Amino acid sequence: MAVYTEVNDDDLARFIDGYGVGRLLSYKGIAEGVENTNYLVHCERGTFILTLYEKRVDPDDLPFFLGLMDHLAAAGVTCPLPVRDREGHHLNELSGRHAALVTFLDGVWPRKPKVEHCRELGAALAAMHLAADGFRLKRANALGVSGWRPLFAKFADRADDILPGLQTLITRELDDLEQHWPRDLPQGVIHADLFPDNVFFIGEKLSGLIDFYFACNDQLAYDIAVCLNAWCFSSDFSYDAAKGRAIIEAYDAVRPLTDGERAALPMLARGAATRFLLTRGYDWLHTPANALVARKDPFDYVRRLRFHQSATSIATYLGAERA
């Protein structure tokens, strides 16, 4: 469960009253998510998501996140739209936390993504990248290549407690990534965390993108690499080329990839796998046993990383028949 902060009925009613959305009818905590507290809020004039930002979120980043959703929604991307209060603000305080109210999106996330889901994802990701062009605020990727070694330093001496040999594996991978990381690819705003639970569908039709709280400025193709890691591995951790091909080709049809992006994809995929291996590794060792959030196994990303290390070109991700 991801309700870290409980809200008082009367405090919430007063909070909602400031938004001009009618009287509060009901609310309930949302169990999914790991970073913030979320409530589903029913009001006389609609249904909304209330987010209370927990301590891991830098308050200075909130104008970027909320402004980005405003910008994307205005550009035609279906995503939560921050609701402004009667004074024109979309960020306030509730129960000692910064809080925002955003519109509710219909749909569910796919527990077992199909090729059709991946094709929709690729097109939507490219459309989001194009729509974000011109967004004036900037936010560096705190979990980009420059942040991986400092994060690893926080648990390197205990890495082998997770998996024997993990410290050596990560150290060698960071050495290689830092030396060969591409730095001259097209840049823009990326989502950086577009896992299946952040993409809603109605049937096999994509209905919206959510959870922009890792969004930042970085190389656009890195977002594709994140999606390949998140969507294209089966339960036995084998790579599903049909899903990868669907993502890449659908993306390319909306925003054509450069030759440099195509050549860099294996390295970007290694970097994305390393990023999630590091955050999962840190959380595995530092999350208390009685925490409300279940830890995610870092070994899942060791297996992904080993696959990417064997990739020779974009043809690996398109399938051998396209090599």
- Helix residue ranges, H only, the chain: 9-17, 62-74, 115-132, 145-153, 159-162, 166-180, 220-231, 241-254, 259-286, 299-310, 314-318
Asked if 179 and 84 count as a contact pair (C-beta separation under 8 A), the reply is: no
Q: In whole angstroms, give the CA distance from residue 279 to residue 187.
A: 24
54: confidence class by pLDDT, cuts 50, 70, 90: confident
Q: In whole angstroms, give the CA distance from residue 320 to residue 188.
A: 31
* pLDDT (0 to 100) of residue 4: 75
User: For the segment 85-111, what is each residue's pLDDT rounded down to a tens digit?
Assistant: 999 999 999 999 999 999 999 999 999
How many other CB atoms are there within 10 angstroms of residue 132's CB atom?
A: 20
| Model confidence at 293: pLDDT above 60 | no
User: For the segment 197-223, what is each residue's pLDDT rounded down to a tens digit?
Assistant: 999 999 999 999 999 999 999 999 999
User: For the segment 2-26, what is each residue's pLDDT rounded down to a tens digit?
Assistant: 567 889 899 999 999 999 999 999 9
Range(s) for CATH 3.90.1200.10 in the chain? 115-322
30: confidence class by pLDDT, cuts 50, 70, 90: confident
Higher pLDDT pick, 32 / 189: 189
> Cα 242 to the chain's mean position, in Å?
22
**Which class is 9-103 in CATH?**
alpha beta
Q: Quick check: helix, strand or coil at residue 203? A: coil
Q: DSSP for 6-75, please give it.
A: ---HHHHHHHHHTTTS--EEEEEE----SSSEEEEEEETTEEEEEEEE-TTS-GGGHHHHHHHHHHHHHT
Higher pLDDT pick, 214 / 57: 214
Tokens 């891991």 belong to residue: 56
Higher pLDDT pick, 163 / 57: 163
* pLDDT (0 to 100) of residue 6: 87
Q: In the 8-state DSSP scheme, what is residue 320?
A: G
| Model confidence at 137: pLDDT above 50 | yes
Higher pLDDT pick, 284 / 286: 284
Tokens 């090729």 belong to residue: 115
Q: Is 189 exposed, middle or buried (0-12, 13-18, 19+ CB in 10 A)?
A: buried
Q: In the 8-state DSSP scheme, what is residue 313?
A: S
User: For the segment 162-187, what is each residue's pLDDT rounded down to a tens digit?
Assistant: 999 999 999 999 999 999 999 999 99
Taking the model in full, what pTM does it have? 0.93
User: For the segment 63-84, what is each residue's pLDDT rounded down to a tens digit?
Assistant: 999 999 999 999 999 999 999 9
The overall average pLDDT reported for the chain is: 93
What share of the chain has pLDDT > 70, as a percent? 94
Q: Are strands 199-202 and 205-209 parallel, antiparallel or unpaired?
A: antiparallel
Asked if 36 and 49 count as a contact pair (C-beta separation under 8 A), the reply is: no
| Model confidence at 116: pLDDT above 90 | yes
Q: Which residues pair with 250 in a beta bridge?
A: none
* pLDDT (0 to 100) of residue 321: 44
Range(s) for CATH 3.30.200.20 in the chain? 9-103
What is the average pLDDT across 293-305? 83
* pLDDT (0 to 100) of residue 192: 97
CATH of domain 115-322: 3.90.1200.10
1: confidence class by pLDDT, cuts 50, 70, 90: very low
Higher pLDDT pick, 101 / 294: 101
Q: In whole angstroms, give the CA distance from residue 219 to residue 27.
A: 39
